Structure 1
Amino acid sequence: MNTLSQTLITPHSGYHWDGNQHRFFEGWYYRVTLPELDQTFAFMYSIEDPIGGQPHSGGAAQILGPEDSYFCRTFADVGQFWSWGAPTGMGPLGLGHWGHSLPGQRPQFLDPEQFDYDIPLGYQGTHTWHQGHLYDPGTGQAAHWRYYIRPIYGWGDVGQPSQATGGLLSFLPIIEPGWQVMMAHGQATGWIDWQDKRYVFENAPAYAEKNWGGAFPQKWFWINCNCFTDQPDLALTAAAGRRQVLWWMESVGLIGVHYQGRFYEFAPWNAEISWSVTPWGEWTMQAHNAHYEIEVWASCDRTGTPLRAPTQNGLIFICKDTMHGQVTLTLKRYHQHGSTLVLKAHSHLCGLEVGGGPWQTAWITNGMPIEEPEPLLWSVASP
C-alpha cells in the first residue's frame, strides 16, 4: 500500500511531534472530488498535545461531505493515535487513530482487511491508501470509506524531488505553524459510504496537505482546486496567513500551480504577491515574478460551513469552508514583446476557506510581506 516514487514523497510528510510537553498540534487533510456528481468529500484529522493529560489533549476526525454537510468525531485517548516519522517529519505519510483498543496490540497501520475486521471506530491513511469507520451515537450519523490513491503531483516539477511548501525556513523551528502540500493532485479509486448512500469512484481527483506546530495562525484564507473544466491535468493551491515568526507576526501568501508536468510557484522568495479577500464571498490574488504573472479570482454565494481547528483554546469552530466555490485562474508568460496567455481555466468545485480573524472588513495587501509586532490573538470568524 505504500510503494511510491521517492520524488512524490514531500518533505514534512512524517509526524513532527518530538515528545515534549509544549503545546503542539498536527493536522492532515485528504480530499476526493466527484465531478460527475458535483460533490466533494474532505477528511480532516488532528491531534493535540499528544503527550496526554493536558487540557486539550485529544484527536478528531471531521468530514465535509456532499452539499457542504458536516460530520465530526473526537478521540479522547491520544494513546490510540499513531503516525510515522517522529520527531523530524521525514519519511512517508502514515497516520491513524482508533476509537477502541485491541487487546495486546498497539496502534499501527493494519492490512486493510484486518482494519475492517478489527477496528469498528477509527481511520488510517498513507500516501496511497485511506480508509475508516466513524459513527456518532448522538446523531446516528455514520461514514465508512476505503480507497486507493495514485499521486500524480507532489509539490514541484515532475521527475524532480518534491519541495517544501514553506521553503527552506520550514525546516527551522522559527515559523509557526508549518504547512505542506503533500499531494497537489492525484487520482482516487474506491468508495465512500455517507449517510446510508454509497459513492463509488474511479480515478477521481484527489488532494492532500497538512500543518503542524505549537502556535497557530491568527488569520488565514485558502483557495484550492484540482477539478477544472476541460483541464484534468491542472491543480491550484493558494493561501495566505498571519503567522508567527519568532517574536513578531508576518502576513505571507503563496500560489502554486501544477500543469502539464510543470510547477509554477509564486512565493515570498521569488515573487510579489497581493490579495483582497472579503470576510466571506470573494477571494482575489495576484502575483508576478521575472517570468510569469498569475491572477486567481474565486467567489461563493453559499454561506459556508463552520469547521473546527486547533487553537490555543483547543479544537473550536474558527473557520468556515465550502467545496462549491467558483474560481478562474489566468496565467501569463512574459516575453520581450509583452506577455502571452499560458492558461485560463475555470471550475465550480473549488475549495474555499477563511479562518481566524478579525474579519470585519476585507483583508488587502499591496504585494509585500507585512511584519506586524503584535501579540498572537484569536477571534472566531462568524459562521
Structure 2
Amino acid sequence: MKPSLIRRACVAALVLASTMAPAVAAQSDHTAVRSDIGARARLLGEKIVPHKLAFRDTTVGGLSGIDRDPCTGEYVLISDDRSVLQPARFYTARITVDGAGVHSVDFTGTHPFLQPDGSVYPPASVGDGKAVDPEELRVDPRTCRYWWAQEGDRPKSSSEPVIQPSIQFATPSGAYRGQLPLPPNYEITLGDRGIRRNKAVEAITFGADGRVLTSALEGPLFQDGPEPDLEHGALVRVTQQSRKGEVLGQFAYPLDKIFTESDPSSPWPPDTGVPSILAFPGDPGRYLVLERTWVAGAGFKIRVYDATTRGATEVRNVDSLAGRRVVPMRKKLVADFHDLGLSTVDNTEGMTWGPTLPSGERTLLLVSDDNFAEDEVTQIVALAVR
C-alpha cells in the first residue's frame, strides 16, 4: 500500500520503545521470545537516489521491492507505478556496499512487465480489469527468472472491476511465463470477507533453496478481525507453498499495534502492514519481517523482526481467526529505524540479503518507496545482520 500518496502532515519523528508479550488471540500483540530467534543488526550506511531520476525514458521511483540476482550479482528493484507514468516495470542496478557503507547505486537496465499476449499492462483508468499494482519481486534461485507479486484492487464501488492479486513469473526481460495458484483465502471478495483494499500480497520470499515460496498478506482479512489500533495489534496470514502452488502451511503473524495517536486535524487514519518478508538462508521456517506504519503528524515507524513459524498454529483451514485462541508466529525486534541514526525514516517497503562481510555478518539492503512524491525519498539502507 502507499500510505503517503495522502498529503500527510508535517512529519515529526517519534520514538516509542516496543514491548514483548505473549500472543494467543486475534488482537494480541508481540509473542514470547525463545533463544532460537534473535538476530541483531547495525547500520552500515545509506544512499539517497535523486528524486524522479530519469533513466531510459522512465521515471525512477515507487521502488517497493528489491532482490539480489545470484546469476549477475546485480539487484532487481520493482516499481509500483500502476502504468500511470510509464508501464508497470522493474529496474536492475549495481549497488556497491561493504562494511564501510553504501558507496554507489547505479541503474543498469529497465523492462516493463508483459501480459501473456506480449503487451504492457494498462493503467487502472482504462477500466478493463487488467491493471496491476506491482509490489514485490524475487529472483528464483534455481532459474534466475523473476517472480513478482501484485496486490490487485478491491474496488470502492460495484461499478468498478475486481482485480485479483497474483504472483507471476517473468523472464529477466519481463516476458510473462505463468503464475502461481494462490490460496483460496487470498481472494478478493465483496462484502465483509476476504482481503481488504490495498492489504493483499505485498511480501514474497524464496526459502529452502528455492523449494518453498512464502507470501504474507499486508493486513488482516476482514473475517480475521479489525486492523491494528492504539490498543491492539492484528494477525496477518503467512503462507508457505511449493513451486507448483501446493499449500504447505499457513500461519498467523502478529502485527504491532499503532505506535502513537494521529494528528486530530488530519482526515487520514493510520496505515500499517507487512510490505516485505525475507527467508533466512538454510532455515525454511525463519524470516525477517518488515513492518511499516504511517501516522498523521508522526510520520513513519519502520521495524524489522526476526520471526519463526516453529510452534505456531496451522491456520489454513481456520476460516476466521477472530476470537480464536491460536498460537501465532513468534517474533523479536531486530531493528527500529529510529534507533539507527538515519538521515530520514521514510516509506521503507523492500528488503533483500546482500553479500556476507568478512566479519561473518550478512548485509541486508532495504529500499523505500517515494510514491513519486516531493516530500518523500528513495532511500537505500544497508544493515549488517548477525
TM-score under structure 2 length normalisation: 0.32
Pick 1 or 2: higher relative contact order, CA cutoff 8 A, min separation 6.
Answer: 2
